[in-house]
Amino acid sequence: MEDRQELHPKVEKSFELIGKKWTGLIIYVLMSGPKRFSELSEAIPALSRRLLTERVKELEEHGIVIREVIADRPIRSEYSLTQKGIELGNILGPISKWAESWVHD
């Protein structure tokens, strides 16, 4: 029982992070590979650019997403999942399969 009490705050923190609106969808989109900010924005058109910026920064802070600056002209940024993010995406993947079967418009 002691192990469960120690695990609870970590589980709670995890669900709090992935439960935020748009977070899971951002991870889902990045599972297909690195994306520029504009590509993320186009993939999730209902998500405002301001909130996308906020969520991506939060995912960076948690080590789930990494931002790479590409020194082309013009300079651009690309976002991709870290190993931690890929593992989380692999867990979230079955949710999309469940949604296809059970969630109706």
pLDDT on residue 10? 87
Domain membership of residue 20 (yes or no) is yes
Domain membership of residue 73 (yes or no) is yes
Q: What is the 3-state secondary structure (H, E, C) of 52-77?
A: HHHHHHHHHHCCCEEEEEECCCCCEE
| C-alpha span between 24 and 80 (Å, rounded) | 14
Domain enclosing residue 37, as ranges? 2-93
Domain membership of residue 102 (yes or no) is no
Per the structure, how many domains does the chain have?
1
pLDDT tens for 88-103 read 999 998 998 899 999 9
Give the strand order in the sheet containing 35-36: 35-36, 76-81, 65-70
Domain membership of residue 62 (yes or no) is yes
Checking if the pLDDT of 1 tops 50, the result is: no
pLDDT tens for 45-77 read 999 999 999 999 999 999 999 999 998 888 889
pLDDT on residue 44? 97
Residue 88: Cβ within 10 Å count:
22
- Check which CATH number belongs to the domain holding 53 and give it: 1.10.10.10
Would the pTM of this model clear 0.95, i.e. be above it? no
Amino acid identity at 27:
I
Domain membership of residue 57 (yes or no) is yes
pLDDT tens for 8-47 read 888 889 999 999 999 999 999 999 999 999 999 999 999 9
Domain membership of residue 98 (yes or no) is no
Domain membership of residue 101 (yes or no) is no
Domain membership of residue 58 (yes or no) is yes
